[in-house]
């Protein structure tokens, strides 16, 4: 349902990602691991279709629905939590269920600024789910959370994925625990030679 054949990605002549092939079918879960600055968010933006300035090809149906949990929550700060969910198409009667699923039954009328980072991220997850995606992209879902909160997030995500067997997933993280709990397929984005570790990252799925 989705295929990306990346030859190279550079920012203003500075190479960031090397050759890489990604193929996804419904229900497939894939994790990409790698240290900070290696190009994980860059790759997800390409997968999401937000960044088209790369050499290679990206193929998917135009109607493929992608839910993207960005590294920052990116909620509209001037709209309440409920309104943020409504904006991606959630019917009013679904909002309570969606917020319940991410463990936040009482925040519908709060503004994003009134939430902690962990809560805001869960609301952003609820929004991604409200969109009824075929493909879910998670960018560092547990970064900057304390140990227990990060664990709770992993448990929450495990449940979300179990309830949606058809949902395909691409997760990027620097934390191998995310990959272990959430996916069956893990790849490490390795900095390719020569030295400067940020400059070339290349992987291929087998």
Partner 1 sequence: MSRRLRDYLLVLTLLLGVWQLLAQQLGDPLLPTPQAVLQALVREWSSGALAHHLLATLRRVLIAFVIALLLGTLLGWAMGRSAGANRVLDPLLVLLLNLPALVLIILLYVWMGLVEAAAVLAVVLNKIPNVAVILREGVRSLDPELEQMARIYRFPLRRRVFDLWLPQLFPFLMAATRGGLALIWKIVLVVELLGRSDGVGFQLHLAFQVFDVAAILAYSLSFIVIVQAIEWCLLQPLERRARRWQRLGQGSGAHV
Ligand X SMILES: Nc1ncnc2c1ncn2[C@@H]1O[C@H](COP(=O)(O)OP(=O)(O)OP(=O)(O)O)[C@@H](O)[C@H]1O
Point out which residues bind ligand X (CB under 6 A). Answer: 11, 16, 36-42, 71, 174, 198
Binding of partner 1 by 104 (CB under 8 A): no
Edge to edge, what strands does the sheet with 29-33 contain?
A: 66-69, 135-139, 168-173, 29-33, 185-188
11 binds partner 1 (CB under 8 A): no
Q: Is 111 in the site for partner 1 (CB under 8 A)?
A: yes
72 touches which of partner 1, ligand X, Mg ion, none (CB within 5 to 8 A by kind)? partner 1
C-beta of 45 vs 183, nearer to ligand X: 45
The alpha carbon dihedral of 143, 148, 158, 117 has a sign of: negative
Nearer to partner 1, 52 or 162 (CB): 52
List 88, 143, 190, 198, residue binding partner 1 (CB under 8 A):
88
Cβ-in-10-Å burial (0-12, 13-18, 19+) of 83 comes to: middle
Contact status: 54 vs partner 1 (CB under 8 A): no
Cβ at position 180, least distance to partner 1 in Å: 27
Count CB atoms within 10 A of the CB of residue 92: 9
Q: Write out the binding residues for partner 1, residues 124-163 only, by CB under 8 A.
A: 127, 131
> Is the Cα dihedral 128, 31, 165, 122 positive or negative?
negative
Query: Reduced to 3 states, what is the DSSP secondary structure of residue 75?
Result: coil
Q: What is the largest CA-CA distance in the chain?
A: 55
Question: Does position 77 bind partner 1 by CB under 8 A?
Answer: yes
């Amino acid at each position: 349902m989705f295929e990306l054949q990346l030859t190279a990605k550079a920012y203003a002549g500075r190479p960031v990602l090397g050759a890489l092939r990604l193929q996804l079918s419904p229900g497939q879960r894939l994790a990409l691991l790698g240290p900070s600055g290696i190009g994980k968010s860059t790759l997800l933006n390409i997968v999401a279709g937000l960044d088209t300035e790369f050499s290679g090809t990206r193929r998917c149906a135009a109607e493929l629905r992608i839910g993207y949990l960005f590294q920052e929550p990116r909620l509209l700060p001037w709209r309440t939590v409920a309104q943020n969910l409504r904006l991606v198409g959630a019917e009013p009667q679904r909002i309570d269920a969606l917020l319940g699923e991410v463990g936040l039954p009482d925040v519908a009328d709060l503004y994003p600024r009134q939430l902690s980072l962990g809560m805001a991220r869960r609301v952003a997850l609820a929004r991604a789910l409200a969109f009824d995606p075929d493909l879910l992209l998670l960018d560092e879902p547990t970064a900057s959370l304390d140990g227990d909160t990060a664990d709770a997030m992993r448990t929450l995500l495990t449940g979300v994925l179990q309830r949606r067997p058809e949902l395909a997933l691409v997760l990027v993280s620097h934390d191998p625990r995310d990959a272990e709990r959430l996916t069956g397929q893990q790849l490490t984005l390795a900095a390719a030679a020569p030295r400067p570790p940020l400059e070339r990252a290349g992987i291929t799925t087998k």
